[in-house]
Chain A
Amino acid sequence: MAAAIVVHPQSLDLRYYLRIIVQETRYEFLKMLRAKVFSLSSIGFPVMFYLIFGLTNHHVEYARYLLASYSCFGMVGASLFGLGAGIAMERAQGWLELKQASPMPRVVYLVAKTVTCAAIALITVACLLILGLTLGGVTMSIFEVVKLIAITLAGAIPFSAMGLLISFVLPPNAGPGMINIIYLPMSFASGLWMPIDLLPHWIQKLAPTLPTYHYAQLALNIFGYAEPGTSMSLHWEALVGFTCLLLGAAWLVFTRSEAKA
């Protein structure tokens, strides 16, 4: 038996890692979907708002605008609650520590959560598209549908980064209330609920400092509702910049808490 004691790090093959990623993501998705507080609010709120504000009075313009903006709203919500509240809770309960004590690489945990949030958002976009195309009188080409889905899902990366940062800063038992304080005003000020030119001027000036603004502009551009005179590549660059900033901040907070732990 003595011979078996010293274990040299084995070179684990790609299949092993792929399997972990697939399983972790699959069960993360099942877990979140079954957690009704999360799934019903993440999918339910954008869909309910769309039914109330987007499909009323046969106003096709509203239906088009809000189809794009509520898709973004859904993705941002899923990420902030899925990662922000999810990680904070699992850490407080000791579950995250048990996972860290296993050989699962940490990054898989984050990838699984990000993909899960994207999948939840995909359900939201699908619901919104069905409602918009049937009840809302929206007409779109297949290309536009694919583009809306792709842009929405691309938001999983910056906003999961934001969720990750929130999970580190959030007091463990603060709960979703604190996230709403960030999520709702940020969505409002970025034109996710109503066109930005209807908002007070100071909010319009503030909007470009928010990642949600640039995200919304990319989605709204599909229907030609982006603010005139801004370039889409600038919005993409802004999102990349925010992602780096948020991940960097998360990394900083994480390493500092590691040093203290």
Chain B
Amino acid sequence: MTATTFASGFQIEPLTHHTASASGQPIARLHSVTKRYGHVTALDNLNLSLYPGEIVALLGPNGAGKTTAVRLLLGLIAPSHGSVRVMGNDPRNAETRINIGAMLQVTRVPETLRVREHIDLFRSYYPNPLPASEVVRIARLNGLEDTYYGKLSGGQKQRILFGLALVGNPSLIFLDEPTVGMDIESRRALWEQIRALAAEGKTILLTTHYLEEADALANRIIVIGKGKILAEGRPSEIKHHVAGRRIRCITELDMDFVRGLRSVLTVERDREAIVIKAIEAEHVVYELMRNDPTLRNLEVSAPGLEDAFLALTGSVES
């Protein structure tokens, strides 16, 4: 077995009917979209649909194409091939964006405006904005209204960007790495707010490279690497695979015997030891020890998400 098989475990998952709301017409859609920057292919014939009321997490390592997908859906860039539709319209049309909110990776917001002023300004962009007090409440900026942006802490700066994404009371919200640079407490508080938005029926696409975050929030996770969808499914399905264990030990057992054990994904030789990737680590370890009393140097570890991505992206290349 190779990395390809490990990856294909994801791909055989059914791709639809994950939530009750994930049905009917998509609210936003990338249809066979390819996006090239010079010789670099950021997205490669990608299909992605968002259905009303769901939270979708676009999960992948840096450079996977997550931000490119968001920028296409916002109409900030045009696809090299394929089509982008949001609420039945081209997102490059400014009026489509009235119903969209976006939190992007902004390194600096003008520092000489106060929190209140930033909100007031963005309220003017939308015909039916939320009351400013409501934005302050949702973004937890109470007491900071008169503070200049330049005087806010890192977490507070992220919160105002979150607030600005909601000012227009949008039905579709894009959050690009929303919790980057936040401490655990702020991150969890933001998760609460995102869940509350979804409870109001809003559709949310968030990009993240934290599996934990995708798992905590999403109805559906799309794993993306090198511009292609590598896996798609409910968090439990994705986690099931990523939650597999890496077992390393020195054993007399035949590699083919080990491959035959239940839930083993891959077996590779690493100098004098073997490295096994398996879903049900307990079962595999039990079988190994039962069959080889001389087994030594046993290590069981969780493969990092990066390991999973490496395996997945490796399969794309081969």
A residues bordering B, Cβ < 8 Å? 1-2, 4-10, 12, 16, 19-20, 22-24, 27, 30-32, 34-35, 90, 92-95, 97-98, 100-105, 258, 260-261
Closest chain-B Cβ to A10's Cβ sits at a distance in Å of 6
Say yes or no: A94 contacts B38, CB within 8 Å: no
Q: 21 pairs across A/B with beta carbons < 8 Å?
A: A1-B52, A2-B52, A6-B87, A10-B98, A20-B125, A23-B124, A30-B113, A34-B113, A92-B107, A95-B106, A98-B161, A101-B76, A101-B97, A101-B104, A102-B97, A102-B168, A103-B95, A103-B98, A103-B125, A104-B94, A258-B78
In the bound complex, CA of A1 to CA of B96 (Å): 18
A-B pairs, top 6 by smallest CB distance, nearest first, are: A34-B112, A23-B124, A9-B95, A94-B106, A6-B88, A93-B108
Say yes or no: B74 contacts A101, CB within 8 Å: yes
Closest chain-A Cβ to B275's Cβ sits at a distance in Å of 41
Please encode chain B, from 78 to 94, with 1 for each CB lying within 8 Å of some chain A CB and 0 for all others: 10000000011100011
Count of CB-CB pairs between chains A and B under 8 Å: 111
B residues bordering A, Cβ < 8 Å? 24-25, 27, 37-38, 52-53, 71, 74-78, 87-89, 93-100, 102, 104-113, 117, 120-122, 124-127, 161, 164, 168, 171, 174, 201
Chain A binding surface, main DSSP class: helix
Known interface pairs A5-B25, A7-B99, A9-B95; A23-B107 also in contact (CB < 8 Å): no
Say yes or no: B125 contacts A102, CB within 8 Å: yes
Say yes or no: B122 contacts A102, CB within 8 Å: yes
Say yes or no: B52 contacts A5, CB within 8 Å: yes
Known interface pairs A6-B88, A261-B77; A98-B107 also in contact (CB < 8 Å): no
Say yes or no: A95 contacts B74, CB within 8 Å: no
Interface core residue of B24, B74, B93, B95 (most chain A CB under 10 Å):
B95
Say yes or no: B107 contacts A31, CB within 8 Å: no
Say yes or no: B88 contacts A98, CB within 8 Å: no
Closest chain-B Cβ to A256's Cβ sits at a distance in Å of 13
Closest chain-A Cβ to B149's Cβ sits at a distance in Å of 10
